[in-house]
């Protein structure tokens, strides 16, 4: 099991750094990963380049659709094993890992179907000529994802990139490569042409920057932190690569006083703490209308304390450990910052369990808009409560960070909720729910939460570029020059 890279259709051993993965639930060693050297990443890029230029992958839409469907079937057949790998590697509760694998298979099927419905656009021109606009792939795409949904976020990119006819060099986070290794093995079994999909393992500095700096890579799609996204955007600008960035967030959940408080409490907990709060769209700011503040906050605190935190392999577990000791310390440092800034800690912020990186979910109140805990993405089980009196104030607070990824609005008055939604600068807004990604609708952010969209037809369009072909069946006289 030391052949963990997938380059040019073969599983091979990485000749770079040997990294020991740690199980976040136990703090114990899991497995050794042999990462790629810069030369091996370059080999993967060349394999993808050759596959793009020398096979008929980009033309054969039926083959692409059939292989994506076949891969979806393989994910379903191997659902339990993939879910186990995901839970071992990330610490997320097993029932959530199963959902991630199901959603990944669904995404592959969606793009296989969408691809079959893609046609070129035909136009008759004013001069009697005919125009065809084809959507053609870029070539080699570099796909880079973080550790919170390793397989799902990977598939959100791999499925549309391959559907559009590109070839792929895929880099998961150095912390969470396990499900990607299994994915590569399954792709090998499916019979994808050699070089169409390549998996390289390694950190951002070695593997990531080799991909983003390469002139043979035409498109980068990145999900990760806003600061990393900025750096990647700058690197890609040098060679004018097409770039899609799915970055961080500090998303508000606005709760109006006409809502059912008990239901709202559960949605708020789900919004803020699902997947240990390690979700880009986590509702890490809860905005509550003043007259229900006391009642809501009391119930929120009481229910949050009852979340079942523990062994991610137990079917009963509702929250697992955070990804690493470094990340645990980062979240704890924000607990200290919050207290130092004068906010009130209602609950959480304590390490629990005899082993692993468990932290009780954190709720702060009595915050002001300028505090770091209100402005910065913490990316863990950590939320702040803010209050508002009017619709206008709710909108102002909701829009009051540099981010614009997602938002939620809970109210019985759907007309009002839609009016508020129209004024919120976010790429995704849920009214009376939270979190569900719909595979056929766009996902991505405004402001410093990113550029471009994943999922839906927008997600496919992100991996192709229009090519306009104008044809005159017979060459006419031009008559422009007086020869």
Query: Which residues bind to ligand NDP, rule: CB under 6 A?
Result: 144-148, 153, 171, 173-174, 203-204, 208-209, 212, 223-225, 228, 231-232, 246-249, 280, 377, 379, 405, 445, 450
Residue 243 near residue 236, CB atoms below 8 Å: yes
Q: Which is nearer to ligand NDP, 101 or 220 (CB)?
A: 220
Give the position of tokens 């959902």: 99
Angle, alpha carbons 107-98-66 (nearest 5°): 30
Q: How far is the CB of 248 from ligand NDP (least distance, A)?
A: 3
Q: Which is nearer to ligand NDP, 86 or 377 (CB)?
A: 377
Annotation marks residue 190 as catalytic: no
Q: How far is the CB of 4 from ligand NDP (least distance, A)?
A: 14
Q: Which is nearer to ligand NDP, 20 or 473 (CB)?
A: 20
Q: How far is the CB of 414 from ligand NDP (least distance, A)?
A: 27
- Count how many Cα atoms sit within 13 Å of the Cα of residue 306 in the half-sphere of its side chain: 9
What lies within 8 Å, CB to CB, of 240 at 6+ separation is none
Active-site pick, 88, 280, 377, 383:
280
The rounded distance, in Å, linking the Cα atoms of 370 and 358 is 29
Question: CA dist 463 to 161, 239, 460, Å?
Answer: 5, 17, 6
Q: How far is the CB of 434 from ligand NDP (least distance, A)?
A: 15
Longest dimension (CA), the chain: 91
Annotation marks residue 280 as catalytic: yes
Q: Which is nearer to ligand NDP, 278 or 311 (CB)?
A: 278
Q: Which is nearer to ligand NDP, 384 or 417 (CB)?
A: 384
Q: How far is the CB of 11 from ligand NDP (least distance, A)?
A: 20
The sign one gets for the Cα dihedral 361, 177, 63, 163 is positive
Active-site pick, 88, 96, 174, 246:
246
Q: How far is the CB of 425 from ligand NDP (least distance, A)?
A: 15
Q: Which is nearer to ligand NDP, 164 or 232 (CB)?
A: 232
Question: Tokens in use for 106?
Answer: 């669904």
Residues assigned a catalytic role: 246, 280
């Amino acid at each position: 099991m030391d052949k963990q890279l997938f380059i040019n259709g073969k599983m091979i051993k990485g000749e770079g750094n040997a990294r020991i993965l740690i199980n976040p639930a136990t703090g114990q060693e899991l497995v050794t990963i042999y990462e790629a050297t810069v030369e091996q990443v370059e080999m993967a890029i060349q394999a993808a380049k050759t596959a793009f230029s020398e096979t008929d992958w980009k033309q054969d839409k039926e083959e692409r659709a059939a292989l994506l469907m076949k891969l979806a079937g393989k994910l379903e057949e191997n659902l339990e094993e993939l879910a186990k790998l995901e839970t071992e590697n990330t610490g997320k509760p097993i029932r959530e890992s199963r959902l991630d694998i199901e959603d990944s298979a669904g995404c592959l099927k969606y793009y296989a179907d969408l691809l079959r419905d893609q046609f070129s656009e035909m136009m008759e021109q004013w001069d009697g000529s005919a125009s065809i606009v084809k959507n053609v792939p870029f070539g080699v795409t570099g796909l880079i994802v973080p550790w919170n949904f390793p397989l799902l976020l990977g598939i959100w990119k791999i499925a549309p990139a391959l559907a559009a006819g590109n070839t792929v060099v895929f880099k998961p986070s150095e912390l969470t490569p396990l499900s990607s290794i299994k994915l590569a093995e399954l792709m090998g079994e499916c019979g994808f042409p050699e070089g169409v999909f390549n998996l390289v393992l390694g950190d951002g500095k070695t593997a990531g920057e080799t991909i983003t700096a390469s002139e043979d890579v035409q498109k980068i799609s990145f999900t990760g932190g806003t600061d990393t996204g900025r750096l990647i955007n700058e690197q890609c600008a040098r060679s004018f690569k097409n770039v899609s960035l799915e970055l961080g967030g500090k998303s508000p959940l606005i709760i109006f006083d006409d809502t059912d408080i008990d239901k709202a409490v559960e949605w708020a907990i789900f919004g803020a703490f699902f997947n240990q709060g390690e979700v880009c769209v986590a509702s890490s700011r809860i905005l509550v209308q003043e007259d229900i503040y006391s009642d809501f906050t009391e119930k929120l605190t009481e229910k949050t304390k009852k979340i079942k935190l523990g062994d991610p392999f137990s079917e009963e577990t509702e929250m697992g450990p955070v990804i690493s000791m470094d990340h645990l310390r980062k979240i704890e440092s924000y607990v200290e910052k919050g207290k130092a800034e004068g906010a009130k800690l209602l609950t959480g912020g304590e390490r629990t369990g005899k082993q692993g990186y468990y932290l009780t979910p954190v709720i702060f109140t009595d915050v002001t808009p300028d505090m770091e805990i209100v402005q910065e993405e913490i990316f863990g089980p950590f939320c702040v409560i803010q209050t508002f009196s009017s619709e206008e104030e709710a909108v102002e607070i909701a829009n009051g960070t540099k981010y614009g990824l997602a938002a939620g609005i809970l109210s019985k008055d759907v007309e009002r909720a839609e009016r508020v939604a129209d004024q919120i600068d976010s790429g995704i807004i849920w009214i009376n729910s939270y979190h569900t990604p719909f595979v056929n609708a766009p996902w991505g952010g405004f402001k410093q939460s990113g550029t471009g969209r994943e999922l839906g037809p927008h997600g496919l369009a992100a991996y192709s570029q229009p090519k306009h072909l104008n044809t005159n069946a017979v060459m006419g006289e031009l008559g422009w020059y007086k020869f």
